[in-house]
Every structure is written in C-alpha cells, then in structure tokens.
Amino acid sequence: MPTPLVAILATGGTIAGAATRPGDDASYVAAQFGVAQLIAAVPALAGRPLEAEQVAQLDSKDMTHAVWQQLAHRCAHHLARPEVAGVVVTHGTDTLEETAWFLHRTLAPGKPLVLTAAMRPATSIQADGPQNLLDALALAQHAGARGVLACVQGRAHGPADVRKRHGSRLDAFASGEAGPVALIEQGQVRQLRPWPVGTALGVPEARAADWPAVIVLPSHAGLATGMAQALVQAAIAQGARGLVIEGTGNGTVHSAWDGAIAAAQAAGVTVWRATRCQDGGVVGEGGLPHAQGLSAAQARVELMLDKALGGAAA
C-alpha cells in the first residue's frame, strides 16, 4: 500500500528556532527556519509523500486569533482532500494547549490533526524537533487515528488534557491523570485510549480582530478589593465580553473578587472560573460556571468561541 499523503503546516516556534551560538539552548530566537528546512533536517522523510505550507512564522507566546483563523481554514482545506490522510502542524510549545483546544472545538476532525513542537531550537546539538516531527508524521499516517493530538516526546496527548508542565526540559508535556492517548515507538503507534472526538462548531467567520474579547484574571493571596475592581473595570472599558478567573483549588475565588465579578455580570460580562491546579480541573456545581477539566487558558478559548458562535460552545 502506498504511504499516505500528509500536509505539514508550519507556524514557527522553537522547533524552527535558531541560536546565534550553536548549542545554546536558552538564548535563541523562535520561528527562524521555514518548513522546507524543518523537513530537510529529517533524513527519514526524504521521498515521503508530503506537502508543506508556511501558514505563519511566530513565537507562539505571541499567538493571535488571526493566525488561529487562518490555520483552522488551512487545516480544514487539507483535511477535506480525499488524498490527504492527515495534517501535521508545527507550533511553539507555549500556547500549544490553547491551539489544540481551539482546533478541536472548531474542526473536531475525522482524520488526525497532529500538533508537534520542540523544546530546543533547530540549531541545538541535540535538537528534539526532528524526532518529534517524524513521530507526528507516523501518527498522521496511522490508519484509524483521528482528532486533534499533540505529539511530543513519543506521546500523543488529547486536546483537553495536554499541558506544558515544564519550562525547559525536553519532556515538558503531559496529560495529567488522563494519560496520553497513544505512544509512538520506533515509528509504530500504540493506542492507549480512544481518539478524541467531538462536534465541530466551525471557525468564527467574523474578522479575527472582532472576535469577542475574553481574558484570564488570576485569584491569589494578597489580592486587594480595589485592585480587583480596577482590573475588571479596565477589562470592561476595553470591551471584554467574558472573564475567566483562574482560581485556586477546586475553582475557589478570593473574596476580593466578589464585588468586581458582580459588577462585571451586571454589565453583561460572562464570568467563568477555572483552577490553577495542574490536575483535577473543577468539579461540582454552585458558584460561577466552570469549564471542568480545561485549564484557564483553554477555558478562555471555550468562552470566546461560545460568545463568537452565539452560545453554541457551552
């Protein structure tokens, strides 16, 4: 059987990063190499049926809704082609869990849509990008694989569970208590859990600049009521339509936020809560609505889509 065709869409990140001094894995600039160079760095990809497209070239800490909109449209385009088995997206690690959730909710693809990344720049003497790209390709070509997956260090994580848990180590990603969906070992895919499925909400059609403003505000010790009120007033003045309070523990929120939250709600702003705990999410009802196991950053995406799509998301 011929090897299935995969489209690789590049967006930048450390996987495409370059240091001025070879071997310097700390001071480098992300998003320097183009997708053709990333592919050329993996000899095992020579002759494979691949198509490559540079969708963006940025450090993912600077990810924008405009890039998400374009990326989602390009993913949808390639996934709809019968001859394409799957899509691989090269991405920065910093906001990978947000992009994964965004693509899952908007596209919920029936083919594999695999995000991959690297913790070391392409100029590192032990760059991790080439192996991650090779593993992502194996996953995208795997018969039966489907849904949005984040493939790093031989593990495929689901879009709700994936978290960047370490700021510098190679093994920076995990799925917490849920565990990875699959392992990629020597090019072979070993499925551990069901592939992620969902209902595609569609990509918001409005100009990305007009997507509803939703921001995350943290709850922490030592918060003053006046500070909380000033932050919320500023958010409302800037047009915020939603707030996600990144709470403590099981989504608990400092009482200093109470008046500010009530004022936001009175002004028509939707307020959700999440937790800064890495595992467990928020469980139980009562108090502010919450987005269960999503991180605060992912809950922001969920609330933004809910507003953009007229309540279709929640």
> Residue 294's closest CA among 311, 313, 307?
313
Name 218's bridge partners. Answer: 246
Look up 90 and say whether it is catalytic: no
Of residues 205-264, which lie at the interface with ligand ASP (CB under 6 A)? none
Mention every residue, 6+ apart, whose C-beta is less than 8 A from residue 241: 212, 213, 214, 268, 269, 270, 307
94 binds ligand ASP (CB under 6 A): yes
Task: State which of residues 14, 124, 131, 298 lies at the interface with ligand ASP (CB under 6 A).
Answer: 14
Nearer to ligand ASP (CB atom), residue 60 or residue 131? 60
Query: Hey, is 298 helix, strand or coil?
Result: helix
Task: State which of residues 7, 8, 9, 30 lies at the interface with ligand ASP (CB under 6 A).
Answer: 30
Segment interacting with ligand ASP (CB under 6 A) among 90-98, 105-113, 265-273, 300-308: 90-98
Q: Which helix (H) or strand (E) holds 213?
A: strand 213-218
61 binds ligand ASP (CB under 6 A): yes
309 binds ligand ASP (CB under 6 A): no
Name 246's bridge partners. Answer: 218, 274
112 binds ligand ASP (CB under 6 A): no
Instruction: Report in angstroms how near the CB of residue 257 gets to ligand ASP at its nearest.
Output: 29
Of residues 113-142, which lie at the interface with ligand ASP (CB under 6 A)? 117, 119
Task: State which of residues 19, 38, 39, 60 lies at the interface with ligand ASP (CB under 6 A).
Answer: 60
93 binds ligand ASP (CB under 6 A): yes
169 binds ligand ASP (CB under 6 A): no
User: What letters, b where the CB count within 10 A reaches 16 and e where it falls short, cover 14-38?
Assistant: bbbbbbeeeeebeebebbbbebeeb
Residues known to be catalytic:
14
Residues near ligand ASP (CB under 6 A) are 13-14, 30, 59-61, 92-94, 117, 119
